[in-house]
Structure 1
Amino acid sequence: MKNITVLFLLFSITLFAQRENYGGKSPKVTITGKVLENNSNIPLEYATIVLTNLKNNKITGGVTNTTGIFEIQIPKGSYAIKVEYIGFKTKKLPNKVFAKNSNLGTILLSEDAEQLNEVEIIAEKSTVEIRLDKKIYNVGKDMTVKGGNASDVLDNVPSVNVDAEGAVSLRGNENVRILIDGKPSALVGLNGTEALRNLPADAIEKVEVITSPSARYDAEGTAGILNIILRKGKITGFNGSINVTTGYPAMFRVAPNLNYRTKKFNLFSNIGYSYRKGPGNSQSYFTNLENGVVQSYRNEDRVFDRKNNNFNGSLGLEYYINDNSSITGSVFYRDSNGEDIATNITTNFDANNVLTSTENRVENENEDGVDKQFSLNYTNNFDGKGKKLIVDLQYGDSDETELAPITENGTLIEQNSQTTKSVDKLLQIDYVHPIGENSQFELGHKSTLQDLNSDFRVRDANGNPFTFDPSNAIDFKQNIYAFYGQYGNKIDKFSYLLGLRTEITDIDLNVLTTNQVSDKNYTEWFPTVNFGYELNETDNLTLGYSRRIRRPRFWFLNPFESRSSATNVFRGNPDIDPMFTSSFDLGYTTKIKKLTLNSSIYYQYSTDIIQMVSIIEERNGTNVFVRQPTNLNNENRYGFELTTNYSPAKWARLSATFNYFKFKTDAFTYVATASNGAQTTTQLEAVNNSSWFTRFNARITLPAKVQWQTRIMYRGPQEDAQSERKGIFSADLSFSKDLFKEKATLVFNVRDLLNSRKRESITYNGDRLNPTSIVDGSFQWRERQISLSFTYRFNQKKKRERPQREYDGGGEGFGG
């Protein structure tokens, strides 16, 4: 794997050394204008302006933003001009000599009746747009996500990793904020990891990777923000698609996406039903020591047998009040139920490895959950020249009920239950005011209110509490009030965006079973700075700074204990404080003929970092290993990232991502208080370590137009204060064939081809140089998945890739 990465990087560097000399180019002029729909005067976003130099036949151009406006820099000269938009008639303008900055005025496009039956929705391949504060990945026909879910899509996005348990990380940092259409969403729900697995990949249009967020965005997420944009039809008429997927281990999914649009309204929906079994496994081998001498061994083998039924549907209606304003209402509903059986076979050995006892513990968890969310959006573009007011209202309600009886050696020993209810409210107001042609000012407010109640009860077979009772009930309230302002400007090739955000946080946690109260109230300021410079047509530089926060979520604060093992548990910690991070990011983008390079150097300084710590508690004469989150000292993290895309021929597309990061964590002494009041002290040594990950995609067109795609990924080993994680290698393979004149697509897909996507680690409890126990562990959330997916599109057709700007430093590019 290392050899593949090195060869690919050397290949990229060689091509870079061979690039042509860009010096001596003609002086540039700026071409502006606006593209509207002929009858309704609705702005056409992503309309393509194609300019062909009449002297050398070189083609350049650009696309319109959300208000239909375009701004393109070209060398002086004579050009042929045409404007294209899918489903509309191409409009050719008279040839024109551009010797100075020119405004082409308003260009009106009319619908093409012959093309309306072949409206294009799904892109042929993924493309990337570079903005001052983010990268936008338009999700294309990447076969490894067909029939998949949102987690699969994110795992294909550069800079992003999804580990064996489904946890999402950005540049190796798991504290990433996930938004849906720019806002928190019930699609993420109470358990974001599981919810992402239930969102079909076909419902996603693009993913915004925001590593240097502007002041417009929440300060939450020290690694940055991932914003998932869902598909909504933009063309008049009725169109849609239906995807059916089946696979092994047993899975079935059907996901219709329907859209109907007229000149006055747009009705859209995303619906999905899925059933799947999710077999997984883990092993924990404990070596118990005293003063360096082995006292005993324990092996815990767990097998996870998961079954899940999930229905989710969203329905929305966008009404166009006039040419420049609209109101959109939507409702989301999800009903899920699952049965998770965790079988834990524990074998105990003495110091001589002689078997002393065996236990078979089975937790049968039945979970039912309902999530509802109602959203209302008002957008006013005023005169259509960039001035904009956006108001969002959102109300969400989530309920979960879990029943989890536990048997040991066939006998019922525990009856566990948990009910969780959360009500979430959101109010957001954003106002954008352009100043001249190249600058704008923004300000806004956001209130996010959460009220959550959770009741977790552990009872014996007769319904009575244990002597040691891990039951708990909590009331959790978190209210965040945010205000921001930012100013952006573009001066020739230089762009900048300066912002300031303040967030007022009020958190109240009441642990009802112990009368423990935790109130945390604080006001923090979050400055953001983003610069961009266009070196020439193909080379761009960006520089960003932002201050971020990580607030502990309720499941980290809740002293709930996992029960699938009686001696190896996870427990929340009500005493966690927020973590703050200052981030710097320097990016460089270039395009060399058929090769595109995106690179970044980044640095992050974090205080009060939140990390998992393992401790040992003695309960009724038995040592219980407890993992819980806590605040450690400070951390310095810096790294380098390179993403390359190369198309050597029409039948081959190659891409690769490489990310290297190094981090240093200060030493820390952790004192934990057990439920019986006993205190244990754990000395965590300083960590100075590094890690890396790389991903390589190859897409090849075989005879008969069969598409073959292979993806390989390697995540390097990593070490923290108490544990060492080994490297992870995985490979995905898929074949795709278009049918019925490209109205349908059949995909055969194998996820984790070698069944190697496992997290293997070694954890040292107590002093690392003189541990009280050493745990060798492995975990595999989901075993190899084979699937067959069929997608049929009606009144749609795959669209060929349109020319896209590689960089946008003005207008909508300032903040999103």
Structure 2
Amino acid sequence: MRIYILSFLFSLSVLFSFAQDTGGKGKISGKVIDATTQQAVDYATVSVFKQGSASPFNGISTDEKGTFTIQTIAAGDYRVTVDFLGYKKYIIEHVIVKDGGVAALGTILLQPNQNQLKGVDIIAKAPIVENRIDKMVFNAQNDLTAQSGAAIDVLKKVPQVTVDIDGNVELQGNGNIRFLINGKPSSIFGASLADALQAIPASQIKSIEVITSPGAKYDAAGTGGIINIILKDSKVSGINGSVNLTAGTRQENGSFNLNARKGNFGVNAFFSGNAMLNARALNTNNRRSDNADGSKSTLFQDGYSDTRRSGYQSGLSFNWSITPKDELTASVGFDHFGNRNKGITSQEETQYGISGAVLQDLLSTRNSESRFSAYSTDFSLNYKKNFAREGQELEFLITTSGSKNTVNYFQRQDYDDPLMTATGTRGYNPGHDRETNISLDYTQPITKNFSLDGGAKVVIENLTNVTNTDTLDAAGNYLNNANQTYGFNYRRNVYAGYISSTASLFKNFLDVKLGLRNEYTTTNANFPGVVIPGYNTVAPSAVISHKFDPTSSVKLSYSFRIERPDYGEVNPFYNISDPHNISTGNPNLRPEKSNSVELGYNKSYNSGANFYVGSFYRHNNDDIQQYTTQYDTLVVNGDTYTNVLLSQRANRGTQSTWGGNIFASVPVGKLNLRTNIFIANRWNTAPDPANNNAIQRVSAFGYRVNLNANYQFPNNFMAEVFGNYNSSSRTLQGTRPQFFWYNLAVRKQFWDKKASIGLVANNPFNKYNEQRSITSGVGFYQENLRQMPLRSFGITLSYKFGKLDFGKDKDKEGRDNGGDQMPSDGGGGK
């Protein structure tokens, strides 16, 4: 009932917004081009002034074709200005707008400003959050408190995104997310997503794009949607760059960017590194089990683990504008990240007979250590052709990404009873991952208001893994265990094609985008007893939007998505780093299928305020969920383990989710307040092993609330505070913990804003963040308490340098505002 009420309120809010007065009835239209190159100038600012006024009351940015239409202008006499960085301002006096008429300004020629400026700091600041027709953009470089951390810290502040204490990311309550870097897939995400996101410094991130309803051009993979991390780049002429450094009690990072561009050729190079210093987490686990023979067992574990992480990213890209209509871009990147965990756990295992008498009480100490390392190389080559007809484009993209991953682990249990022999295992697991994407996309305008897009794509993925396992014998030697030593090869190819259309209907009253994508998947895994049949996926998508005026719009979208099981979910390797809590993959997982609908309304105000309200519904079939089973004894490849919980992913029925999101940003003088509220109610329907596999229905309500406030003091001094709360929610077998964190930051800019120094404090008044969770199933009940160290203090330094020539370089997907490039959507889908 709560979710129906919430959905009603969301819909009522949208309908109420629709009913607002849209103002006047006239329009002002035109097209802006470069007077020298005759190319369209996109994202030029068109402002409308009342005669005698010094401040505009309305305005808009030109689109990628340089065109603009400002609607709902009351009849009258106005002054219009056209402005863009690197060009002389164009002023048109006495623009007469008639009631119901269109004031057509025709083609406006902007004259480039040929003056070369030295030592200039560009200020073309985009809002923190931008709502566009197909995505939401979080401009991380304008956020203060996140700059000392990593990508995972930036994601915590992005609307509709939830990050838990372990770095697990959800989008609209769904963890099946397709992650991209600069619009391209990368094998850096394949080995360990949490570690990869910890290895990317926040200072290297320009923006994060959230796409909850991807169109046909994107890969159908990822039922939760797509998160695209855009790294900093520049297409500004001249030589320029930046240096960012952070030193702290828990985390250190640094990045260096260098950009050089002369005429039609540009080079960008960067290097960034990140290190999380040793962090000790405390863990307590209490389990009660019912054994098959009627006896009962308890397991109490109390210990700690020390964790360290480190990584680096580097990249080199080249851009060559061969002709005004032909562009070639190539890039290569080298990345590394890894972690080390080392801990000691005290254990007490007690077994009770049917009468309640103690049959056995074992005290032991478990020492464990694991090391993970991943090296990856990414290469891409992109060619884009613009034809004579405006909007006609051809794009070819090839990307290849390879990684080498290594896992080393060790665990040993020593018993207090001298008659008990120590047990233990150690392993060495090298692996390789190679993914290649080849795509071709074409856009053909049919009329002024109608165009067709189409393309094809091939994805070739090959993963190999070798598991080498040694077991501790009675003499204290580690000997190879042939039963747990094997190789696992996994190959998957995806062949895709799509077609989509974009149209403006009913005299531009509605913008419609319809698409259909077809993907055929083949999978081979050379593991005994595993046969994965090929399958075909037809994925339709649709977006319908309407602009009430330049400041408000509504969007309704639908998409069909799938979630292919990833390598870690299908790998049959048994993780026995804790013999009482074992996990393994499931090679027979089927892809998860999802249908989702989303409705959203966005409104911006002349004061700079922005408001967004949206709701969504998602239904998954063959829903992939982790399921835990209790075993009195479990035999794994010839070795026997007692009192075990085995965790494995499985297709568990269906999942339906209703939810909504409210985002608001309000400036109050020099104070800016920003909040994001996300709520969702989820229903899981799955067989219940505790009740003869009768269908059980589990309902889980959860919400996330955050608040950000920043204040601009005199003399380029700014302060900011951010707080975030995530509620607890139910799962199929228990509860997920609630969590809360907060950040404080101050920054001082100097040297004409070319340099800055900042101080950041994360959870300064709480040493630990407590995580309490429950897991239960047939024959067991388990409570877990984790205390995660989040308190830290840091200092950040940044410096921008270089000589800039403000000539307009064409970048159709974004604005050229001091290096803030918006990459294209990539080829053949994502």
Class of the TM-score when normalised by the shorter of the 2 chains = 0.7 to 0.9
1:601 aligns to 2:615 (yes or no): yes
Which deviations, in whole Å up to 9, do the C-alpha atoms of 1:398-427 show, x marking residues without a partner? 101222233334978322111110111110
Distance 1:559 1:189, change over 3 A: closer
Is this contact kept in 1: 2:27–2:69, CA < 8 A? no
Q: Aligned partners of 1:255, 1:106: CA distance in 2, in Å? A: 41
2:132 to 100, 107, 130: 130
1:558 aligns to 2:571 (yes or no): yes
User: Does the residue aligned with 1:146 lie in a helix, a strand or coil?
Assistant: coil
Q: How many angstroms does 1:360 deviate by?
A: 2.4
Amino acid aligned to 2:410: P
2:361 to 330, 353, 356: 356
Amino acid aligned to 1:460: T
Is this contact kept in 1: 2:199–2:310, CA < 8 A? no
Q: Aligned partners of 1:204, 1:84: CA distance in 2, in Å? A: 28
Q: How many angstroms does 1:290 deviate by?
A: 5.4
Is this contact kept in 2: 1:87–1:116, CA < 8 A? no
Q: Which stretch shifts more, 315-324 or 39-48?
A: 39-48
Amino acid aligned to 2:653: N
Q: Show the counterpart of 2:375.
A: 370
Q: Show the counterpart of 1:744.
A: 755
Amino acid aligned to 1:34: V
Distance 1:326 1:260, change over 3 A: same
Amino acid aligned to 2:82: V
Report how many residues are paired: 776
Q: Aligned partners of 1:368, 1:187: CA distance in 2, in Å? A: 11
Q: Show the counterpart of 1:22.
A: 21
Q: Show the counterpart of 2:651.
A: 631
1:104 to 103, 106, 109: 106
2:629 to 605, 615, 636: 615
Distance 1:345 1:107, change over 3 A: farther
Task: Please give the residue correspondences for 1:122-521 in structure 2 after superposition, counting only pairs within 5 Å.
Answer: 123=125, 125-131=127-133, 133-249=134-250, 251-281=251-281, 282-289=283-290, 295-349=296-350, 356-383=361-388, 385-409=390-414, 413-461=424-472, 462-466=477-481, 469-491=483-505, 492-511=508-527, 515-521=528-534
Distance 1:508 1:544, change over 3 A: same
Which deviations, in whole Å up to 9, do the C-alpha atoms of 1:134-158 show, x marking residues without a partner? 2233334211211222212221111
User: Does the residue aligned with 2:145 lie in a helix, a strand or coil?
Assistant: helix
Q: Show the counterpart of 1:791.
A: 798
TM-score by length of 1: 0.88
Q: Aligned partners of 2:776, 2:677: CA distance in 1, in Å? A: 30
Is this contact kept in 2: 1:32–1:72, CA < 8 A? no
Task: Please give the residue correspondences for 1:112-127 in structure 2 after superposition, counting only pairs within 5 Å.
Answer: 113=115, 115=117, 117-120=119-122, 123=125, 125-127=127-129
Which segments of structure 1 move beyond 6 Å, counting only runs of 4 or more?
Answer: 16-21, 291-294, 352-355, 680-684, 801-804
Is this contact kept in 1: 2:770–2:785, CA < 8 A? yes
TM-score by length of 2: 0.86
Q: Show the counterpart of 2:548.
A: 535
Distance 1:582 1:163, change over 3 A: same
User: Does the residue aligned with 1:565 lie in a helix, a strand or coil?
Assistant: coil
Q: How many angstroms does 1:786 deviate by?
A: 2.2
User: Does the residue aligned with 1:188 lie in a helix, a strand or coil?
Assistant: helix
Q: Aligned partners of 2:204, 2:178: CA distance in 1, in Å? A: 20
Amino acid aligned to 1:579: E
Distance 1:793 1:144, change over 3 A: same
Amino acid aligned to 1:220: A
Is this contact kept in 2: 1:127–1:140, CA < 8 A? no
Amino acid aligned to 2:267: L
CA RMSD of aligned residues (A): 3.4
Which deviations, in whole Å up to 9, do the C-alpha atoms of 1:577-619 show, x marking residues without a partner? 1111110111112235644221112111111100010002313
Which deviations, in whole Å up to 9, do the C-alpha atoms of 1:100-154 show, x marking residues without a partner? 25253153341453545325278375141321x2223333421121122221222
Is this contact kept in 2: 1:389–1:430, CA < 8 A? yes
Q: Aligned partners of 1:721, 1:796: CA distance in 2, in Å? A: 58
Is this contact kept in 1: 2:184–2:399, CA < 8 A? no
Distance 1:237 1:186, change over 3 A: farther
Is this contact kept in 2: 1:433–1:440, CA < 8 A? yes
Is this contact kept in 2: 1:596–1:646, CA < 8 A? yes
Q: How many angstroms does 1:94 deviate by?
A: 4.9
1:733 aligns to 2:744 (yes or no): yes
Distance 1:413 1:167, change over 3 A: same
Q: How many angstroms does 1:232 deviate by?
A: 1.8
Is this contact kept in 2: 1:186–1:332, CA < 8 A? no
Distance 1:575 1:300, change over 3 A: same
Q: Aligned partners of 2:660, 2:399: CA distance in 1, in Å? A: 38
Which deviations, in whole Å up to 9, do the C-alpha atoms of 1:537-578 show, x marking residues without a partner? 433211111111011101001122223311112211111111
Distance 1:696 1:187, change over 3 A: same
Distance 1:71 1:365, change over 3 A: same
Q: Aligned partners of 2:769, 2:544: CA distance in 1, in Å? A: 39
Amino acid aligned to 2:682: F
Amino acid aligned to 2:510: F
User: Does the residue aligned with 2:195 lie in a helix, a strand or coil?
Assistant: helix
Which deviations, in whole Å up to 9, do the C-alpha atoms of 1:37-94 show, x marking residues without a partner? x555565443322222327664322223345444443515433233322344434345
Q: Show the counterpart of 1:73.
A: 71
Is this contact kept in 1: 2:200–2:273, CA < 8 A? no
Q: How many angstroms does 1:272 deviate by?
A: 0.8
Is this contact kept in 2: 1:164–1:780, CA < 8 A? no
Q: Aligned partners of 1:490, 1:325: CA distance in 2, in Å? A: 28
Q: How many angstroms does 1:313 deviate by?
A: 0.3
Distance 1:234 1:116, change over 3 A: farther
